[in-house]
A and B are shown apart, each in its own frame.
Chain A
Amino acid sequence: MAQPGLTLAEASPDVLRLPAPRVRRRILLTARVLIVVAALITLLAVHYLTAVTLSLFLIVGQGCIVIGALLAAGVAITDVFRRRGVTSLRFEPGETVFRQGDPGDLVYSIVSGEVEIIREMPDGEERLLATMGPGEYFGEMALISDAARTATVRARTSLEVVAMGRADFTTLYAYVPGLKQRVETIMRQRAADTARKTS
């Protein structure tokens, strides 16, 4: 945890700062659109070859492929960093960190800001299970039990978290003395809390 009065960047300058998930989604969407356009142009040029479709393919199609593939490769590389090692992520107020039912890949510790833990009931109603603030962590449950996320987590304020991938977390969880007991105690408390609030 960062010491009081120190920003994360000052306390641990080596933590890799990745683009916000929102930015990542936009880049991925751009790459997808470019590649789909390129595939359509390629089909057109191969099956209806004229001077116009050839030029379209050579200039626009190939341009889309090069840019789209580079963007997608960038996303894939940052995804590898996100899953391996400790990274820092920022969210805007109201932005979702993960959704109930998502596969669990990271465990998060809050550096600054607050989150809401929300249970989505089968009828679509949302129930607030808890709010958490700096120093608290969430997301460990899906990693330990290797299941989908059991709740949705949303940023209440502008949020900075430190995230750790499954591999690192399970190693620490197995080998750091006392960690397993502490996490299990907290998990039991939260499970009891949740049962109370959703019944």
Chain B
Amino acid sequence: MSGITDEIAQRMLEQPFPRSGDFAELGAVVTTALAIAVLVLVIGGALLGERRLSPTAASALGVLGLCVLPVFMMLFGAYTTVEGSKSVEFCHSCHSAMNLYVSDMEDPASASLAAVHYKQRWITQHECYRCHADYGVWGSADAKLRGFAHLYHWLIASKTALGEEQIHTYRRYRNQICLDCHAGGADFLTSGRGVHLMIARNLVERDPDTGAEVTSCMTCHAPAHPSLESWRSRG
């Protein structure tokens, strides 16, 4: 027997099983090793000088430390950081602006769509990213630019960045992302007496003016998150 008591087993089931060994972790290890190798080669090379090495060896080490390894460091670093930016903690790194969304989502008492998906573990990781995959480095070119524009908000400590003003989206939320998971689902197709199929055209056809579908899922399934006002009054 493994010596696991009922109590331990229950506690194990009460929280998500730890994930380990995904590629992002490996990426972090490889990137760190590359960065340290680069620092050792470049700083060591500069201190030792080219005097102690034959010119050919100095050249080869220079190319290795200044061109080859840095390029790999850049690629692995980009993979690791961009992969890491999917995490909820990353979203939470803009604490003042995102605290509302993260703490509501993680609040078991909340009934918002995000919180329900979170507490039931319907989305198993990268929860914010999964519903907002069209944002930041993950989105289109203009979404990426906006991500950097939001950095500017942070720099100038704007009211939205400080969490003092309600954040508004630039355009309507796209059903596409909900449908990524829900289209084809048995309950989705039948529940509400088949309401989704009845209004199917409006749920998929895009309105050229807004760029989003004619009828948003949020028309009936709001709120995804509490408004700033209601969250504040909750205390």
Interface size counted on chain A using CB atoms at 8 A? 43
Given contacts A36-B39, A49-B90, contact A57 B77 (CB under 8 A): yes
Tell me the chain B residues, 34-81 only, with Cβ under 8 Å from chain A. Answer: 35-36, 38-39, 42-43, 45-46, 50-51, 53-56, 59, 62-63, 65-67, 70-71, 73-74, 77-78, 80-81
Any chain A CB within 8 A of the CB of B32? yes
In the complex, what's the smallest C-beta–C-beta distance from B149 to chain A, in angstroms?
11
Decide if B73 touches A42 in the complex (CB within 8 Å): yes
The 7 closest A-B pairs by CB, nearest first: A72-B66, A50-B93, A39-B35, A69-B67, A105-B55, A42-B77, A49-B84
* A68 CA to B59 CA, complexed, in Å: 15
Given contacts A42-B73, A45-B81, A76-B67, contact A51 B90 (CB under 8 A): yes
Residues of A within 8 A of B78 (CB): 57-58, 62
Tell me the chain A residues, 56-114 only, with Cβ under 8 Å from chain B. Answer: 57-59, 61-62, 65-66, 68-69, 71-73, 75-76, 79-80, 83, 99, 101-103, 105
In the complex, what's the smallest C-beta–C-beta distance from A75 to chain B, in angstroms?
7
* A50 CA to B154 CA, complexed, in Å: 12
Decide if A62 touches B67 in the complex (CB within 8 Å): no
Residues of A within 8 A of B62 (CB): 28, 72, 75-76
Residues of B within 8 A of A59 (CB): 148
In the complex, what's the smallest C-beta–C-beta distance from A24 to chain B, in angstroms?
11
* A29 CA to B51 CA, complexed, in Å: 16
Decide if A39 touches B90 in the complex (CB within 8 Å): no
Residues of A within 8 A of B82 (CB): 54
Given contacts A51-B90, A65-B70, A103-B53, contact A36 B43 (CB under 8 A): yes
Decide if A99 touches B51 in the complex (CB within 8 Å): yes
Any chain B CB within 8 A of the CB of A43? yes
Main secondary structure of the interface of A (DSSP, over half): helix
Decide if B38 touches A55 in the complex (CB within 8 Å): no
Decide if A65 touches B63 in the complex (CB within 8 Å): no
Decide if A32 touches B93 in the complex (CB within 8 Å): no
Residues of A within 8 A of B59 (CB): 76, 79-80
* A50 CA to B147 CA, complexed, in Å: 13
Tell me the chain B residues, 75-106 only, with Cβ under 8 Å from chain A. Answer: 77-78, 80-82, 84-85, 87, 90, 93-94
Residues of B within 8 A of A159 (CB): none
Residues of B within 8 A of A55 (CB): 148, 151
* A59 CA to B54 CA, complexed, in Å: 36
* A69 CA to B94 CA, complexed, in Å: 32
A3-41 CB mask vs B (1 if < 8 Å, else 0) is: 000000000000000000000000011011001101110
In the complex, what's the smallest C-beta–C-beta distance from A127 to chain B, in angstroms?
21
In the complex, what's the smallest C-beta–C-beta distance from B75 to chain A, in angstroms?
10
Decide if A35 touches B65 in the complex (CB within 8 Å): yes
In the complex, what's the smallest C-beta–C-beta distance from B16 to chain A, in angstroms?
20
Residues of A within 8 A of B28 (CB): 46-47
19 A-B residue pairs with CB within 8 Å = A29-B46, A31-B66, A35-B66, A36-B39, A45-B81, A46-B35, A46-B77, A47-B32, A51-B90, A52-B93, A57-B77, A57-B81, A58-B78, A59-B148, A61-B77, A69-B71, A72-B67, A79-B55, A102-B51
In the complex, what's the smallest C-beta–C-beta distance from B63 to chain A, in angstroms?
5
B18-32 CB mask vs A (1 if < 8 Å, else 0) is: 000000000010011
